[in-house]
Each structure stands twice: as C-alpha cells, then as structure tokens.
C-alpha cells in the first residue's frame, strides 16, 4: 500500500527562529511526541559534511545542539554523531566545533564513517539500466534510531538535497559515485580509496587533489554542454541517482529528519552555491515528507523532483503535499524562489532518460 493511501498523514513541523538553534529547537518541539515514540536504544545523529571547511555546505553544531538537548529527556541507551565526509571527517569535526560540542555532554562519541566496516550491501542501478552493488557502514546499520540533521541546498543532480540524500554519507566513500549510475571499475576504486584515505591526514593535499578531480569533471561537463548542448549521459545519471536514493531509503531510511533551512544554498549546490536567509527549520518522522515540504518552500514542485516522485510512488514516504499534515508555520508563507542549479532544465527531463 502506498503511503498516500494510508489514513494517517505524516506530520511535518515548520518553525522559524531568530537563530539557527532557535529555529531547530522550535521545530523539534512541535513534533516532540512523534519523535519520542521513535527514539529507542542506540541513537546515531547523522550530520552532512560535504565540505570540511565551508559552513554553508555542512551541518553546523547549532543545528545539532537542540537535537542532543531533546534526546537528553529520552530513554536512549547511547548517543553518537557519525558522518563520512567527502573530504576529512576529522577536520570537519574540528573546524565546525563538534569536538567542543561533545565536551558539553557525557558519553557522546564522534564517529568517522569513512573508517567504518562495510558488511552490508544492496543493489542499485547504473545509468544504462544495469545493476551493481553498493556497500554501507555497519555502524549506521546497527543503530536503533537514526536522526538525519541535514541542510537545505540545491544540487547538481538531485535538484535539491536534504534529509534522505544526507544518508549517502553512510555509504563506502569510494562507492558513492555508483549512486549516480557510474561504474569506475574495481582497480580505479581501490587506488582511489587508498589515496583518499592517505590524504585524510593532509588537508592541503586533500584540497588540491579533490579540487583537480572535481575541476576536471566540471570542465568536461562544461565543454560537452557548450559544444553539444546536452552533457553526455547526464540525464541518465539524474535518473539513476533518483532511483538509487529510493533504494537507499529502503535500507537506511532515517527514523527522524531535521532540516536546517536557516541559510539555504541556492545556485551551484551542493558545494559552490550562495546563501539565502530563510530563518526556518523542518522536522518530522517521515523524511520524504520533510524533504517535500522543504522543496516546496524552496520554490519547486516536490513531485517534479525525481527522487521525491519515485519515493512517493514506491511507498517509502509521502511527497504529496495534499497528504501531509503541517505543524507550526504555514509553508506557503515561507516560499522563496530559490535559484536552481544551472543544470535544472536538464534535471527536469529525468522521466525521459529511460524511455
């Protein structure tokens, strides 16, 4: 049965605040009862560290602090903060003040998921409609409660990124390109993972190498777009990522979603966009519904976005605004036409990819 056929609608909190911390705290309070039902056992808070240095691209402690405050009043057995950063997780924890944050509380562990073990895996699709396997970390798989504390940003493939896509940080780092339908080959992946792990301890080297890799990739796409009008395989990658996020959701769906939209990234997200002050936060126990409401407030139709439309159709969550109950602020009062990524017109062709 699809989620939008159920009698009980998912409830999503929308709250504003003078500060990021206040906005998140207000959103959590609106759905406190829903959250209390979900929290149990070993709790894992999953921030987003796309960058180890850019606070606009990464979850800040002011968004996590109110979550920890709320959990203090629950019967959770243990609490950890866990992420597998695109670059160095350790540097992100240090640069963004997470080491100082955990000192304020007892027995909170900081986990680098890039150093996790990976015994679990699931099947995903390639951009050519083939299949391949992808591994995910044992630590998030073993957690009794997973809380995604994400940011609202535009994205170069997914159009928007929020709580569900944040869970990609639980995947084996060198496997993450597979989510886009890419097959690099085991030799390249092994070499890349070995180099990446070495560079984790050398921030300058990590920045230089990753800058060269991503710079070359962006230049290649720019040249293809300039000369051909359409980037080769791009739309198929958009479709593959949309399909694979749904498959990820079936395996590692967060129990609770918190979206920091105090400052939203627009334009060339998820790492190179600019800030728009919205001063709000979103929270709930249906991450797809939370992402849909946030997407609407960013000026997009949720059911036009690949992963949200497919997630709604598959029944793993509700992205139909007509079937979502809102607590707190009226989302329509906070709609901003966020500037999309420059590839947005191509992203909207995701349905055509495999026709």
What is the per-residue DSSP string for 183-207? ---HHHHHHHHHHHHHHTT-HHHHH
Q: Mean pLDDT in runs of 10 for the chain (355 residues)? A: 56 98 98 96 97 96 97 90 94 97 94 97 96 97 98 98 98 93 77 70 62 52 52 85 98 98 97 97 98 98 98 98 98 98 95 86
pLDDT digits (tens, 9 = 90+) for 243-264: 999 999 999 999 999 999 999 9
Q: How far apart are CA 243 and CA 308, in angstroms?
A: 10
Handedness of CA 181, 146, 166, 281 (dihedral sign): positive
pTM given for the model: 0.92
Pairing of strands 108-112, 78-83: parallel
Dihedral class, residue 66 (left if φ above 0, else alpha if ψ from -120 to 50, else beta) = alpha
Handedness of CA 13, 284, 93, 242 (dihedral sign): negative
pLDDT digits (tens, 9 = 90+) for 126-140: 999 999 999 999 999
Q: How far apart are CA 283 and CA 59, in angstroms?
A: 15
For position 4, what pLDDT does the model report?
40
* Partner residues linked to 121 by β-bridges: 135
* Residue 171 DSSP class: B
């Amino acid at each position: 049965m699809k989620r939008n056929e159920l009698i009980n609608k998912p409830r999503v909190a929308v709250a504003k605040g003078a500060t990021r911390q206040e906005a998140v705290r207000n959103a959590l309070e609106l759905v406190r009862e829903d959250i209390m039902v979900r929290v149990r056992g070993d709790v894992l808070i999953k921030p987003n560290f796309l960058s180890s240095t850019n606070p606009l691209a990464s979850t800040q402690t002011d968004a996590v602090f109110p979550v920890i405050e709320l959990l203090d009043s629950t019967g959770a057995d243990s609490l950890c903060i866990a992420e597998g950063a695109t670059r160095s997780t350790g540097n992100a924890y240090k640069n963004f003040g997470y080491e100082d944050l955990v000192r304020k509380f007892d027995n909170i562990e900081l986990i680098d998921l890039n150093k996790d073990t990976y015994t679990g895996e699931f099947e995903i699709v390639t951009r050519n409609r083939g299949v391949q396997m992808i591994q995910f970390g044992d630590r998030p798989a073993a957690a009794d409660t997973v809380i995604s504390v994400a940011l609202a940003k535009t994205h170069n493939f997914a159009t928007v990124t929020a709580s569900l896509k944040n869970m990609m940080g639980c995947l084996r780092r060198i496997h993450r390109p597979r989510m886009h339908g890419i097959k690099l080959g085991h030799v390249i992946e092994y070499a890349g993972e070995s180099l990446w792990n070495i560079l984790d301890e050398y921030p300058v080297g990590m920045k230089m190498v990753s800058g060269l890799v991503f710079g070359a990739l962006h230049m290649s796409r720019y040249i293809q777009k300039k000369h051909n009008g359409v980037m080769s395989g791009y739309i198929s990658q958009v479709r593959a990522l949309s399909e694979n996020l749904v498959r990820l959701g079936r395996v590692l769906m967060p129990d609770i979603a918190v979206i920091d939209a105090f400052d939203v990234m627009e334009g060339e997200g998820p790492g190179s966009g600019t800030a728009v002050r919205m001063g709000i936060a979103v929270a709930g126990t249906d991450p797809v519904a939370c992402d849909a409401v946030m997407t609407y407030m960013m000026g997009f139709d949720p059911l036009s976005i690949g992963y949200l439309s497919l997630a709604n159709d598959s029944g793993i969550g509700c992205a139909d605004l007509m079937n979502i109950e809102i607590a707190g602020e009226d989302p329509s009062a906070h709609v901003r036409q966020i500037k999309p990524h420059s590839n947005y017109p191509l992203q909207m062709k995701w349905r055509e990819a495999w026709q």
